[in-house]
Structure 1
Protein backbone atom coordinates (compact mmCIF):
# COMPACT_ATOMS: atom_id res chain seq x y z
CA UNK A 1 0.00 0.00 0.00
CA UNK A 2 1.40 3.37 -1.05
CA UNK A 3 0.33 6.55 0.77
CA UNK A 4 1.58 10.07 0.06
CA UNK A 5 1.40 13.04 2.42
CA UNK A 6 0.22 15.87 0.16
CA UNK A 7 0.06 18.98 2.33
CA UNK A 8 -2.39 18.07 5.08
CA UNK A 9 -3.95 15.30 2.98
CA UNK A 10 -2.97 11.63 2.67
CA UNK A 11 -3.60 10.11 -0.76
CA UNK A 12 -3.63 6.41 -1.58
CA UNK A 13 -1.87 5.64 -4.85
CA UNK A 14 -0.17 2.91 -6.85
CA UNK A 15 2.87 3.14 -9.11
CA UNK A 16 3.69 0.17 -11.32
CA UNK A 17 5.98 -0.47 -14.27
CA UNK A 18 9.63 0.27 -15.05
CA UNK A 19 11.15 3.50 -13.77
CA UNK A 20 12.12 4.51 -17.31
CA UNK A 21 8.71 3.62 -18.77
CA UNK A 22 6.34 6.00 -20.50
CA UNK A 23 4.47 7.82 -17.69
CA UNK A 24 0.69 7.37 -17.74
CA UNK A 25 -1.67 8.71 -15.05
CA UNK A 26 -5.19 7.37 -14.48
CA UNK A 27 -7.90 9.37 -12.68
CA UNK A 28 -11.21 7.67 -11.94
CA UNK A 29 -14.82 8.74 -11.66
CA UNK A 30 -17.02 9.99 -8.86
CA UNK A 31 -17.98 7.12 -6.56
CA UNK A 32 -15.19 4.73 -7.59
CA UNK A 33 -11.64 4.02 -6.45
CA UNK A 34 -8.63 3.21 -8.60
CA UNK A 35 -9.72 -0.42 -9.02
CA UNK A 36 -11.78 1.05 -11.86
CA UNK A 37 -8.81 0.33 -14.15
CA UNK A 38 -8.03 -3.23 -13.01
CA UNK A 39 -9.36 -5.01 -16.10
CA UNK A 40 -7.74 -2.59 -18.55
CA UNK A 41 -4.16 -2.36 -17.31
CA UNK A 42 -3.10 -5.95 -18.11
CA UNK A 43 -4.21 -5.38 -21.71
CA UNK A 44 -2.02 -2.31 -22.28
CA UNK A 45 1.46 -2.32 -23.83
CA UNK A 46 4.44 -3.35 -21.74
CA UNK A 47 6.86 -0.68 -20.63
CA UNK A 48 4.41 1.82 -19.15
CA UNK A 49 5.03 3.58 -15.84
CA UNK A 50 1.50 3.81 -14.42
CA UNK A 51 0.20 6.02 -11.60
CA UNK A 52 -3.29 5.45 -10.22
CA UNK A 53 -4.72 7.16 -7.17
CA UNK A 54 -7.81 7.59 -5.03
CA UNK A 55 -8.85 11.24 -5.09
CA UNK A 56 -9.77 12.92 -1.83
CA UNK A 57 -12.91 11.49 -0.27
CA UNK A 58 -12.57 8.17 -2.11
CA UNK A 59 -11.04 4.76 -1.58
CA UNK A 60 -8.31 4.74 1.06
CA UNK A 61 -7.44 8.44 0.75
CA UNK A 62 -8.40 10.95 3.42
CA UNK A 63 -11.86 12.49 3.44
CA UNK A 64 -11.55 16.11 4.52
CA UNK A 65 -14.65 18.16 5.19
CA UNK A 66 -16.33 19.36 2.01
CA UNK A 67 -17.31 20.91 -0.22
CA UNK A 68 -14.22 20.59 -2.43
CA UNK A 69 -13.21 22.82 -5.32
CA UNK A 70 -12.01 21.53 -8.67
CA UNK A 71 -8.87 23.57 -8.08
CA UNK A 72 -8.14 21.53 -4.95
CA UNK A 73 -8.62 18.25 -6.83
CA UNK A 74 -6.26 19.45 -9.56
CA UNK A 75 -3.68 20.57 -7.00
CA UNK A 76 -3.89 17.16 -5.27
CA UNK A 77 -2.82 15.24 -8.38
CA UNK A 78 -0.33 17.95 -9.35
CA UNK A 79 1.40 17.48 -6.00
CA UNK A 80 1.13 13.70 -6.23
CA UNK A 81 2.78 13.71 -9.65
CA UNK A 82 5.56 15.92 -8.33
CA UNK A 83 5.89 13.59 -5.31
CA UNK A 84 6.16 10.46 -7.46
CA UNK A 85 8.35 12.00 -10.17
CA UNK A 86 5.73 11.90 -12.93
CA UNK A 87 5.99 14.57 -15.62
CA UNK A 88 5.41 14.82 -19.37
CA UNK A 89 2.74 12.17 -18.83
CA UNK A 90 -0.22 10.88 -20.80
CA UNK A 91 -3.22 11.56 -18.54
CA UNK A 92 -6.28 9.30 -18.73
CA UNK A 93 -9.30 10.74 -16.93
CA UNK A 94 -12.83 9.38 -16.71
CA UNK A 95 -15.79 11.59 -15.73
CA UNK A 96 -14.57 13.89 -12.93
CA UNK A 97 -11.13 12.47 -13.70
CA UNK A 98 -11.44 13.91 -17.20
CA UNK A 99 -12.31 17.31 -15.75
CA UNK A 100 -9.19 17.08 -13.59
CA UNK A 101 -7.21 16.21 -16.74
CA UNK A 102 -8.47 19.32 -18.54
CA UNK A 103 -7.72 21.57 -15.58
CA UNK A 104 -4.25 20.14 -15.03
CA UNK A 105 -3.35 20.43 -18.71
CA UNK A 106 -4.34 24.09 -18.66
CA UNK A 107 -2.31 24.67 -15.50
CA UNK A 108 0.79 22.49 -15.95
CA UNK A 109 1.63 21.51 -19.51
CA UNK A 110 4.96 20.23 -18.21
CA UNK A 111 3.00 17.47 -16.48
CA UNK A 112 0.58 16.57 -19.29
CA UNK A 113 1.68 16.04 -22.89
CA UNK A 114 -1.40 14.15 -24.08
CA UNK A 115 -4.75 13.22 -22.58
CA UNK A 116 -7.62 10.81 -22.84
CA UNK A 117 -10.98 12.37 -21.99
CA UNK A 118 -13.27 9.46 -21.23
CA UNK A 119 -16.98 9.91 -20.54
CA UNK A 120 -16.47 13.47 -19.46
CA UNK A 121 -17.00 17.06 -20.56
CA UNK A 122 -15.84 20.61 -19.95
CA UNK A 123 -19.10 21.14 -18.05
CA UNK A 124 -21.26 18.33 -16.65
CA UNK A 125 -24.85 18.97 -15.62
CA UNK A 126 -26.17 22.07 -13.90
CA UNK A 127 -25.71 23.55 -10.45
CA UNK A 128 -29.35 22.81 -9.62
CA UNK A 129 -29.06 19.18 -10.69
CA UNK A 130 -25.99 18.65 -8.51
CA UNK A 131 -27.56 20.55 -5.62
CA UNK A 132 -30.53 18.17 -5.70
CA UNK A 133 -28.27 15.10 -5.67
CA UNK A 134 -26.08 16.51 -2.91
CA UNK A 135 -29.13 17.24 -0.77
CA UNK A 136 -30.48 13.73 -1.38
CA UNK A 137 -27.20 12.19 -0.22
CA UNK A 138 -26.97 14.43 2.82
CA UNK A 139 -30.51 13.44 3.77
CA UNK A 140 -30.64 9.78 2.82
CA UNK A 141 -27.08 8.68 2.11
CA UNK A 142 -25.77 7.26 -1.13
CA UNK A 143 -28.42 4.56 -1.02
CA UNK A 144 -30.97 7.24 -1.93
CA UNK A 145 -29.41 7.73 -5.39
CA UNK A 146 -27.80 4.35 -6.09
CA UNK A 147 -30.57 3.08 -8.40
CA UNK A 148 -30.58 5.98 -10.87
CA UNK A 149 -26.78 6.15 -10.69
CA UNK A 150 -26.37 2.51 -11.70
CA UNK A 151 -28.84 3.06 -14.54
CA UNK A 152 -26.72 5.94 -15.86
CA UNK A 153 -23.45 4.08 -15.32
CA UNK A 154 -24.19 0.73 -16.94
CA UNK A 155 -26.09 -0.68 -19.89
CA UNK A 156 -29.15 -2.75 -19.00
CA UNK A 157 -27.53 -6.14 -19.78
CA UNK A 158 -24.61 -5.40 -17.43
CA UNK A 159 -27.00 -5.19 -14.48
CA UNK A 160 -27.20 -8.99 -14.71
CA UNK A 161 -23.42 -9.48 -14.82
CA UNK A 162 -21.82 -11.25 -11.86
CA UNK A 163 -19.53 -8.28 -11.17
CA UNK A 164 -22.33 -5.68 -11.13
CA UNK A 165 -23.01 -5.95 -7.36
CA UNK A 166 -19.37 -5.17 -6.68
CA UNK A 167 -19.58 -1.85 -8.48
CA UNK A 168 -22.81 -1.04 -6.70
CA UNK A 169 -21.11 -1.81 -3.38
CA UNK A 170 -18.09 0.31 -4.30
CA UNK A 171 -20.40 3.25 -4.92
CA UNK A 172 -22.31 2.71 -1.67
CA UNK A 173 -19.11 2.47 0.37
CA UNK A 174 -17.78 5.77 -0.88
CA UNK A 175 -17.80 8.23 2.05
CA UNK A 176 -20.87 10.45 1.69
CA UNK A 177 -18.73 13.48 2.53
CA UNK A 178 -16.30 12.54 -0.22
CA UNK A 179 -19.06 12.05 -2.78
CA UNK A 180 -20.84 15.32 -1.97
CA UNK A 181 -17.52 17.17 -1.76
CA UNK A 182 -16.50 16.07 -5.26
CA UNK A 183 -20.03 16.55 -6.61
CA UNK A 184 -19.79 20.18 -5.49
CA UNK A 185 -16.51 20.48 -7.42
CA UNK A 186 -18.21 19.23 -10.59
CA UNK A 187 -21.14 21.59 -10.05
CA UNK A 188 -18.82 24.57 -9.89
CA UNK A 189 -16.74 23.70 -12.95
CA UNK A 190 -17.03 25.14 -16.44
CA UNK A 191 -13.87 24.54 -18.48
CA UNK A 192 -15.35 25.50 -21.87
CA UNK A 193 -13.06 28.51 -22.23
CA UNK A 194 -9.84 27.01 -20.86
CA UNK A 195 -10.25 23.68 -22.66
CA UNK A 196 -10.81 25.48 -25.97
CA UNK A 197 -7.32 26.92 -25.53
CA UNK A 198 -5.63 23.51 -25.19
CA UNK A 199 -3.35 22.28 -27.95
CA UNK A 200 -2.21 18.73 -27.19
CA UNK A 201 -2.94 15.24 -28.52
CA UNK A 202 -6.35 14.19 -27.19
CA UNK A 203 -8.52 11.10 -27.44
CA UNK A 204 -12.18 11.36 -26.41
CA UNK A 205 -14.03 8.14 -25.56
CA UNK A 206 -17.80 7.88 -25.11
CA UNK A 207 -20.19 5.04 -24.31
CA UNK A 208 -23.34 4.71 -26.41
CA UNK A 209 -25.46 3.95 -23.32
CA UNK A 210 -23.93 6.58 -21.04
CA UNK A 211 -26.64 8.37 -19.10
CA UNK A 212 -24.23 10.67 -17.24
CA UNK A 213 -22.17 12.09 -20.09
CA UNK A 214 -23.88 11.12 -23.38
CA UNK A 215 -21.73 10.85 -26.51
CA UNK A 216 -22.83 14.22 -27.90
CA UNK A 217 -21.67 15.95 -24.72
CA UNK A 218 -18.30 14.16 -24.74
CA UNK A 219 -17.71 14.93 -28.40
CA UNK A 220 -18.72 18.59 -28.04
CA UNK A 221 -15.85 18.92 -25.56
CA UNK A 222 -13.48 17.06 -27.90
CA UNK A 223 -14.39 19.52 -30.66
CA UNK A 224 -12.97 22.33 -28.53
CA UNK A 225 -9.48 20.87 -29.04
CA UNK A 226 -8.15 20.93 -32.61
CA UNK A 227 -7.30 17.47 -33.91
CA UNK A 228 -8.89 15.55 -31.03
CA UNK A 229 -9.85 11.97 -31.88
CA UNK A 230 -13.36 10.73 -31.05
CA UNK A 231 -14.27 7.10 -30.39
CA UNK A 232 -17.60 5.53 -29.43
CA UNK A 233 -17.85 2.23 -27.57
CA UNK A 234 -21.23 0.69 -28.33
CA UNK A 235 -23.18 -1.18 -25.69
CA UNK A 236 -21.37 0.49 -22.79
CA UNK A 237 -22.46 3.13 -20.33
CA UNK A 238 -20.52 5.63 -18.25
CA UNK A 239 -17.74 3.18 -17.34
CA UNK A 240 -16.77 1.48 -20.62
CA UNK A 241 -13.46 0.37 -19.10
CA UNK A 242 -15.60 -1.91 -16.89
CA UNK A 243 -18.16 -3.12 -19.42
CA UNK A 244 -15.88 -3.37 -22.47
CA UNK A 245 -12.28 -3.54 -21.15
CA UNK A 246 -10.93 -5.16 -24.32
CA UNK A 247 -12.31 -2.48 -26.63
CA UNK A 248 -11.30 0.24 -24.20
CA UNK A 249 -7.74 -1.08 -23.92
CA UNK A 250 -7.44 -1.34 -27.70
CA UNK A 251 -8.34 2.35 -28.09
CA UNK A 252 -5.90 3.33 -25.34
CA UNK A 253 -3.15 1.18 -26.83
CA UNK A 254 -3.47 2.76 -30.28
CA UNK A 255 -3.39 6.24 -28.74
CA UNK A 256 -0.46 5.44 -26.46
CA UNK A 257 1.57 4.02 -29.33
CA UNK A 258 0.77 7.09 -31.44
CA UNK A 259 2.36 9.14 -28.64
CA UNK A 260 5.50 7.00 -28.75
CA UNK A 261 4.69 4.83 -25.74
CA UNK A 262 6.69 1.64 -25.31
CA UNK A 263 5.32 -1.74 -26.29
Structure 2
Protein backbone atom coordinates (compact mmCIF):
# COMPACT_ATOMS: atom_id res chain seq x y z
CA UNK A 1 0.00 0.00 0.00
CA UNK A 2 1.77 3.19 -1.14
CA UNK A 3 2.11 5.86 1.54
CA UNK A 4 3.85 9.23 1.21
CA UNK A 5 5.22 10.97 4.31
CA UNK A 6 4.01 14.55 3.88
CA UNK A 7 4.02 17.29 6.50
CA UNK A 8 4.35 14.71 9.28
CA UNK A 9 1.38 12.69 7.99
CA UNK A 10 1.30 9.50 5.93
CA UNK A 11 -0.92 10.01 2.90
CA UNK A 12 -2.23 6.96 1.07
CA UNK A 13 -2.40 7.17 -2.70
CA UNK A 14 -2.96 5.04 -5.79
CA UNK A 15 -1.57 5.48 -9.28
CA UNK A 16 -3.17 4.18 -12.48
CA UNK A 17 -0.63 4.76 -15.26
CA UNK A 18 -1.86 2.58 -18.11
CA UNK A 19 -1.77 5.56 -20.48
CA UNK A 20 2.03 5.42 -20.48
CA UNK A 21 4.94 7.42 -19.19
CA UNK A 22 4.32 10.36 -21.49
CA UNK A 23 0.68 10.89 -20.55
CA UNK A 24 -0.24 13.98 -18.50
CA UNK A 25 -0.96 13.53 -14.81
CA UNK A 26 -4.42 13.90 -13.27
CA UNK A 27 -4.95 14.21 -9.51
CA UNK A 28 -8.32 13.20 -8.00
CA UNK A 29 -9.39 14.45 -4.56
CA UNK A 30 -12.22 12.93 -2.53
CA UNK A 31 -15.16 14.46 -0.71
CA UNK A 32 -15.57 14.55 3.05
CA UNK A 33 -16.40 11.08 4.36
CA UNK A 34 -15.22 9.25 1.26
CA UNK A 35 -11.92 7.78 0.06
CA UNK A 36 -10.14 6.88 -3.18
CA UNK A 37 -12.88 4.39 -4.04
CA UNK A 38 -15.35 7.21 -4.81
CA UNK A 39 -13.53 7.67 -8.13
CA UNK A 40 -14.03 4.05 -9.23
CA UNK A 41 -16.65 5.07 -11.85
CA UNK A 42 -14.10 7.34 -13.56
CA UNK A 43 -10.72 5.67 -13.15
CA UNK A 44 -10.82 3.30 -16.10
CA UNK A 45 -11.87 6.01 -18.56
CA UNK A 46 -9.49 8.60 -17.13
CA UNK A 47 -6.57 6.16 -17.14
CA UNK A 48 -6.90 5.67 -20.89
CA UNK A 49 -5.63 9.23 -21.34
CA UNK A 50 -3.88 10.24 -18.12
CA UNK A 51 -1.64 8.96 -15.39
CA UNK A 52 -4.17 9.12 -12.56
CA UNK A 53 -3.26 9.78 -8.93
CA UNK A 54 -5.94 9.26 -6.30
CA UNK A 55 -5.25 9.97 -2.64
CA UNK A 56 -7.08 9.75 0.66
CA UNK A 57 -7.32 13.18 2.21
CA UNK A 58 -5.74 13.20 5.67
CA UNK A 59 -8.18 11.74 8.18
CA UNK A 60 -9.75 9.48 5.53
CA UNK A 61 -9.24 5.97 4.18
CA UNK A 62 -5.74 4.63 4.75
CA UNK A 63 -4.16 8.04 5.35
CA UNK A 64 -3.23 9.04 8.88
CA UNK A 65 -5.77 10.87 11.02
CA UNK A 66 -3.67 13.08 13.29
CA UNK A 67 -5.42 15.10 15.99
CA UNK A 68 -7.08 18.21 14.62
CA UNK A 69 -8.48 20.60 13.85
CA UNK A 70 -7.05 20.65 10.32
CA UNK A 71 -6.77 23.70 8.09
CA UNK A 72 -7.26 24.32 4.40
CA UNK A 73 -3.58 25.23 4.31
CA UNK A 74 -2.74 21.67 5.38
CA UNK A 75 -5.07 20.11 2.81
CA UNK A 76 -3.50 22.23 0.07
CA UNK A 77 0.00 21.46 1.31
CA UNK A 78 -0.67 17.74 1.31
CA UNK A 79 -1.42 17.81 -2.43
CA UNK A 80 1.68 19.85 -3.25
CA UNK A 81 3.72 17.49 -1.08
CA UNK A 82 2.29 14.47 -2.88
CA UNK A 83 3.21 15.97 -6.25
CA UNK A 84 6.74 16.55 -4.96
CA UNK A 85 6.93 13.02 -3.57
CA UNK A 86 5.95 11.56 -6.95
CA UNK A 87 8.17 13.93 -8.93
CA UNK A 88 5.21 15.52 -10.71
CA UNK A 89 5.95 19.03 -11.89
CA UNK A 90 2.54 19.79 -13.35
CA UNK A 91 -0.83 18.03 -13.40
CA UNK A 92 -4.51 18.42 -14.04
CA UNK A 93 -6.70 18.36 -10.92
CA UNK A 94 -10.25 17.24 -10.21
CA UNK A 95 -11.76 17.54 -6.74
CA UNK A 96 -15.29 17.11 -5.43
CA UNK A 97 -16.81 18.93 -2.44
CA UNK A 98 -13.94 19.16 0.10
CA UNK A 99 -11.63 18.14 -2.74
CA UNK A 100 -13.02 21.00 -4.80
CA UNK A 101 -12.42 23.47 -1.98
CA UNK A 102 -8.84 22.23 -1.84
CA UNK A 103 -8.65 22.69 -5.61
CA UNK A 104 -9.67 26.36 -5.33
CA UNK A 105 -6.74 26.95 -3.00
CA UNK A 106 -4.34 25.00 -5.20
CA UNK A 107 -5.36 26.89 -8.36
CA UNK A 108 -5.08 30.25 -6.61
CA UNK A 109 -1.81 29.63 -4.73
CA UNK A 110 0.07 27.18 -6.96
CA UNK A 111 -0.96 27.85 -10.57
CA UNK A 112 2.47 26.80 -11.82
CA UNK A 113 1.74 23.21 -10.72
CA UNK A 114 -1.57 22.77 -12.55
CA UNK A 115 -2.79 22.91 -16.15
CA UNK A 116 -6.57 22.52 -15.90
CA UNK A 117 -8.73 22.29 -12.79
CA UNK A 118 -12.17 20.75 -12.23
CA UNK A 119 -14.06 22.07 -9.20
CA UNK A 120 -17.03 19.79 -8.62
CA UNK A 121 -20.00 20.13 -6.25
CA UNK A 122 -18.18 22.69 -4.18
CA UNK A 123 -18.05 26.36 -3.23
CA UNK A 124 -15.49 28.87 -2.06
CA UNK A 125 -17.35 29.03 1.27
CA UNK A 126 -19.19 25.87 2.31
CA UNK A 127 -21.69 25.93 5.14
CA UNK A 128 -21.24 27.71 8.45
CA UNK A 129 -20.19 27.23 12.04
CA UNK A 130 -23.77 26.24 12.86
CA UNK A 131 -23.42 23.26 10.50
CA UNK A 132 -19.85 22.12 11.00
CA UNK A 133 -19.18 22.53 14.73
CA UNK A 134 -22.05 20.28 15.89
CA UNK A 135 -21.24 17.75 13.18
CA UNK A 136 -17.59 17.64 14.27
CA UNK A 137 -18.66 17.12 17.87
CA UNK A 138 -20.99 14.31 16.86
CA UNK A 139 -18.28 12.58 14.82
CA UNK A 140 -15.97 12.54 17.84
CA UNK A 141 -18.56 10.71 19.98
CA UNK A 142 -18.48 6.93 20.31
CA UNK A 143 -20.50 5.60 17.40
CA UNK A 144 -20.77 9.09 15.98
CA UNK A 145 -19.94 8.19 12.41
CA UNK A 146 -22.58 5.46 12.32
CA UNK A 147 -25.18 7.88 13.67
CA UNK A 148 -24.33 10.42 10.94
CA UNK A 149 -24.38 7.97 8.04
CA UNK A 150 -28.03 7.89 6.99
CA UNK A 151 -28.53 11.65 7.15
CA UNK A 152 -25.39 12.35 5.12
CA UNK A 153 -26.11 9.72 2.45
CA UNK A 154 -29.62 11.13 2.03
CA UNK A 155 -28.05 14.45 1.01
CA UNK A 156 -25.48 12.87 -1.29
CA UNK A 157 -27.97 11.31 -3.72
CA UNK A 158 -31.48 11.84 -5.04
CA UNK A 159 -34.26 9.56 -3.79
CA UNK A 160 -34.63 7.67 -7.11
CA UNK A 161 -30.90 6.86 -7.13
CA UNK A 162 -31.06 5.68 -3.51
CA UNK A 163 -33.99 3.39 -4.35
CA UNK A 164 -32.29 2.03 -7.47
CA UNK A 165 -28.63 1.59 -6.46
CA UNK A 166 -28.61 -0.24 -3.14
CA UNK A 167 -25.36 -2.12 -3.83
CA UNK A 168 -23.51 1.09 -4.72
CA UNK A 169 -24.85 2.75 -1.59
CA UNK A 170 -23.83 -0.18 0.61
CA UNK A 171 -20.19 0.36 -0.37
CA UNK A 172 -20.44 4.12 0.17
CA UNK A 173 -22.08 3.70 3.57
CA UNK A 174 -19.36 1.24 4.58
CA UNK A 175 -16.59 3.72 3.73
CA UNK A 176 -18.36 6.56 5.53
CA UNK A 177 -19.16 4.55 8.65
CA UNK A 178 -15.54 3.43 9.02
CA UNK A 179 -13.97 6.85 8.45
CA UNK A 180 -11.98 7.83 11.54
CA UNK A 181 -14.18 10.09 13.66
CA UNK A 182 -11.33 12.41 14.58
CA UNK A 183 -10.26 12.70 10.97
CA UNK A 184 -13.78 13.45 9.81
CA UNK A 185 -14.32 16.02 12.56
CA UNK A 186 -10.99 17.72 11.90
CA UNK A 187 -11.83 18.08 8.22
CA UNK A 188 -15.25 19.50 9.15
CA UNK A 189 -13.33 22.19 11.03
CA UNK A 190 -11.02 22.84 8.07
CA UNK A 191 -14.05 23.37 5.82
CA UNK A 192 -15.78 25.51 8.46
CA UNK A 193 -12.81 27.87 8.72
CA UNK A 194 -12.04 28.16 4.99
CA UNK A 195 -13.33 31.20 3.12
CA UNK A 196 -11.66 31.20 -0.30
CA UNK A 197 -13.98 33.64 -2.06
CA UNK A 198 -11.28 36.29 -2.46
CA UNK A 199 -8.72 33.73 -3.62
CA UNK A 200 -11.13 32.19 -6.14
CA UNK A 201 -11.34 35.55 -7.89
CA UNK A 202 -7.58 35.45 -8.54
CA UNK A 203 -7.59 32.10 -10.41
CA UNK A 204 -6.26 32.43 -13.94
CA UNK A 205 -6.18 28.76 -14.96
CA UNK A 206 -8.75 27.02 -17.19
CA UNK A 207 -11.48 25.84 -14.80
CA UNK A 208 -14.54 23.64 -15.15
CA UNK A 209 -17.17 23.98 -12.40
CA UNK A 210 -19.61 21.07 -12.10
CA UNK A 211 -22.74 21.36 -9.97
CA UNK A 212 -25.74 19.17 -9.22
CA UNK A 213 -29.25 20.46 -9.79
CA UNK A 214 -30.46 18.70 -6.64
CA UNK A 215 -27.38 19.26 -4.48
CA UNK A 216 -28.38 20.50 -1.01
CA UNK A 217 -24.83 20.62 0.37
CA UNK A 218 -23.23 22.86 -2.27
CA UNK A 219 -26.08 24.12 -4.38
CA UNK A 220 -26.18 24.79 -8.10
CA UNK A 221 -26.52 28.48 -7.23
CA UNK A 222 -23.23 28.27 -5.35
CA UNK A 223 -21.66 26.51 -8.31
CA UNK A 224 -22.75 29.29 -10.65
CA UNK A 225 -21.42 31.83 -8.17
CA UNK A 226 -18.05 30.07 -8.07
CA UNK A 227 -17.85 29.95 -11.86
CA UNK A 228 -18.65 33.65 -11.91
CA UNK A 229 -15.64 34.40 -9.72
CA UNK A 230 -13.23 32.86 -12.24
CA UNK A 231 -12.71 34.56 -15.58
CA UNK A 232 -13.44 32.19 -18.44
CA UNK A 233 -14.66 29.35 -16.21
CA UNK A 234 -17.00 26.79 -17.78
CA UNK A 235 -20.09 25.70 -15.87
CA UNK A 236 -21.84 22.33 -16.23
CA UNK A 237 -24.91 21.31 -14.24
CA UNK A 238 -25.89 17.65 -13.89
CA UNK A 239 -29.21 16.13 -12.88
CA UNK A 240 -27.77 14.86 -9.61
CA UNK A 241 -27.31 15.63 -5.94
CA UNK A 242 -23.93 15.98 -4.19
CA UNK A 243 -21.84 13.04 -5.42
CA UNK A 244 -22.54 13.76 -9.06
CA UNK A 245 -19.59 11.71 -10.28
CA UNK A 246 -21.38 8.60 -8.99
CA UNK A 247 -25.03 9.48 -9.61
CA UNK A 248 -24.40 10.69 -13.18
CA UNK A 249 -21.15 8.85 -13.77
CA UNK A 250 -21.21 8.80 -17.57
CA UNK A 251 -22.17 12.46 -17.96
CA UNK A 252 -19.60 13.45 -15.35
CA UNK A 253 -16.83 11.43 -16.96
CA UNK A 254 -17.61 12.86 -20.38
CA UNK A 255 -17.69 16.45 -19.12
CA UNK A 256 -14.30 16.12 -17.41
CA UNK A 257 -12.63 14.35 -20.33
CA UNK A 258 -13.98 16.88 -22.83
CA UNK A 259 -12.66 19.73 -20.71
CA UNK A 260 -9.26 18.23 -19.97
CA UNK A 261 -8.74 17.24 -23.62
CA UNK A 262 -9.17 20.74 -24.99
CA UNK A 263 -6.11 22.29 -26.55
CA UNK A 264 -4.81 25.55 -25.02
TM-score (norm 1): 0.94
Show the counterpart of 1:55: 57
Show the counterpart of 1:4: 4
Matched, 1:239 2:243: yes
Would you say the 8 A contact 1:23–1:87 is kept in 2? no
Matched, 1:164 2:161: no
- CA-CA distance at 1:87 after TM superposition: 2.6
What is the CA–CA distance in structure 1 between the aligned matches of 2:263 and 2:55, rounded to whole Å? 23
Matched, 1:227 2:232: yes
Show the counterpart of 2:41: 39
What is the CA–CA distance in structure 2 between the aligned matches of 1:110 and 1:82, rounded to whole Å? 13
Listed one character per residue, the Cα deviations across residues 42-94 of structure 1 (whole Å, up to 9, x for unaligned) are 22372311111001110001110111111011111110011112232111010
- Pairwise mapping of residues 85-124 of structure 1 onto structure 2 (< 5 A)? 85-124=87-126
Listed one character per residue, the Cα deviations across residues 123-180 of structure 1 (whole Å, up to 9, x for unaligned) are 0001221112112222351122222211110110122212111111111110001100
Match of 1:248 among 246, 249, 252: 252
Would you say the 8 A contact 2:6–2:82 is kept in 1? yes
What is the CA–CA distance in structure 1 between the aligned matches of 2:217 and 2:126, rounded to whole Å? 8
- CA-CA distance at 1:218 after TM superposition: 1.3
- Pairwise mapping of residues 76-155 of structure 1 onto structure 2 (< 5 A)? 76-139=78-141, 141-155=144-158
What is the CA–CA distance in structure 2 between the aligned matches of 1:19 and 1:178, rounded to whole Å? 34
Unaligned runs of 5+ residues in structure 1 are none
3-state DSSP of counterpart to 2:93:
strand
Listed one character per residue, the Cα deviations across residues 184-221 of structure 1 (whole Å, up to 9, x for unaligned) are 00000000001101111000111122121111111111
TM-score (norm 2): 0.94
> 1:73–1:201: structure 2 CA closer, same or farther, 3 Å change rule?
same
Would you say the 8 A contact 1:124–1:187 is kept in 2? yes
What is the CA–CA distance in structure 2 between the aligned matches of 1:16 and 1:129, rounded to whole Å? 36
What is the CA–CA distance in structure 2 between the aligned matches of 1:193 and 1:54, rounded to whole Å? 27
- How many residues are matched? 259
- CA-CA distance at 1:240 after TM superposition: 1.1
